Amino acid sequence: MSAAGNAAPAPAAMILAAGRGERMRPLTDRTPKPLLVVRDETLIERHVRACATAGIRRIVINLWWLGAQIRERLGDGSRYGVEIAYSEEGAAALETAGGIVRALRLLGSDLFIVVNGDIYTDYPLAGLRLGVAADAHLVLVPNPPQHPEGDFGLRNGRVLAVAAQRFTFAGIALYRRAMFAACADGVRPLKPLLVAAMERDRCTGEIYQGLWEDVGTPARLAALNRP
């Protein structure tokens, strides 16, 4: 993603921000989860700035619960040095894959990054790569206390749906558009698509050992904000 030499331009990115944030209630009754503040910065603005640092200029954000607040806060993205487009999910949230499918027309490029709006991390997005023999590249992390059994395995750079040692999906990935192109618009979870890609040996991955937190409960948010 570097601007040096004749490197390809950075792909577009999508930040997932449509969820209700049930586990964060009552904080999310009036504030969308991505606008919760960690260390004087909202979660979603941290992601937007991380995208800008990585050279990403096109960002799509999906909206449902209290989405107008996110749109008002971020605007068109110009003050962050990016261009932000919004994908509205209508009467109900479409889940992760459904939200991505709805946003494909706005993402444009063949490759695009997707980041969960409710994580806190310093993962360097500029380092994401996807080989020609893969449709998805997932960032995995060591299992946190609240998710000790993990999600997927990893062997020789390939992500496995079934493995003795499993890691937690970080909610950061690089996808090929073709992985979602055959999906109809509507509610759709992501995991079945990921497992299908793994079964076709089309899913690569890496383990990130740096800063990563799932800001899933008020207690975890409070812990991150302690001096």
CA atoms of 215 and 82, how far apart (whole Å): 25
For residue 186, what pLDDT band results from cuts at 50, 70 and 90?
A: very high
| Structure tokens that stand for 94 in this block | 């479409």
CA atoms of 125 and 127, how far apart (whole Å): 5
Using one digit for the tens of pLDDT, what is the confidence trace for 29-77?
899 999 999 999 999 999 999 999 999 999 999 999 988 999 999 999 9
For residue 153, what pLDDT band results from cuts at 50, 70 and 90?
A: very high
CA atoms of 90 and 111, how far apart (whole Å): 25
Using one digit for the tens of pLDDT, what is the confidence trace for 64-118?
998 899 999 999 999 999 999 999 998 888 999 999 999 999 998 799 999 999 9
The CATH number that domain 12-224 falls under is 3.90.550.10
Most confident of 21-30, 178-187, 192-201: 192-201
Helices marked H in 147-225: 178-181, 191-199, 218-224
